[in-house]
Amino acid sequence: MAWNSGKTGSNPGSFRASGHPQRPSAEFDGSGGYREGGDQDQATDSAAPIWMWVKEDAQLGQFVGAVLAQDADSGLFGQVSYALVQGAPEALQIDPDSGILTVAGSGLDHERETVHQFEIQARDGAGLTSRIRVVLFVVDVNDNRPKFELDEYRVEVSEDAAPGTKLLQVNVSDADADSEFWFDIALPGNELELFAIDRNNGVVKLVG
């Protein structure tokens, strides 16, 4: 059996591995390297994984990647089917006939699990198998709103307070990784522009 192709949505490459009845070898052009494996049934044929990427908000049915295995046998013995094994996330599915991986659910979450590692198994008509390792990177998107530390802020200030007086500092958190945000005062409520907020640190000061 021979693996031939390792296409992903953002990192096309090719993967080759020969299985029974010959000694397996593996070659991946792209993210991997060159490795040799044994000739045992059910063994992982290559130590060099295929890398794939998918956004955490990917829609149902979106293409993730594809693998293709070829078998030297003819007829029914040469027909190959594919399956996800060894830790594949439930949010993925593979077409047993084409080897195409697609999104099957909404369980991908960069904040919960950034990388998934699993194996794809190819089985020929004689029941012989070959496996290839996959490393799937879940790409972060800005899908979480920033949250204020408090639901409401109350401040008392003297009517003769000088301009520049610090009134309070608001703090927010954001569940997205490496998130960036800034502050602003929304209208209505500051039509006279009596207050100003530092857009970087959330400090509110009296203007006039």
| Fold adopted by 143-207 | Immunoglobulin-like (2.60.40)
CA dihedral 194, 198, 203, 206 (to 10 degrees): -20
Question: Reduced to 3 states, what is the DSSP secondary structure of residue 76?
Answer: helix
- State residue 1's pLDDT score: 57
Task: Tell me the mean pLDDT per 10 residues along the chain, length 208.
Answer: 49 34 30 30 56 94 90 76 91 95 92 93 88 92 83 89 91 77 82 88 89
- State residue 166's pLDDT score: 92
Please report the DSSP string for 126-190 in residue order: TS-EEEEEEEEEEE----S--EESSS-------TTPPTT-EEEE--EE--STT------PPSSS-
Its CATH architecture, for the domain 46-139, is: Sandwich (2.60)
- State residue 138's pLDDT score: 94
Q: Which amino acid is at 68?
A: L
Place of tokens 């490496």: 178
Q: Is the full-model pTM beyond 0.75?
A: no
> Which two structure tokens, joined as six digits, stand for 146?
């920033």
Report domain extents, the chain. 46-139, 143-207
59-110 per-position pLDDT tens digit: 999 999 999 887 777 777 778 899 999 889 999 999 999 999 999 998 899 9
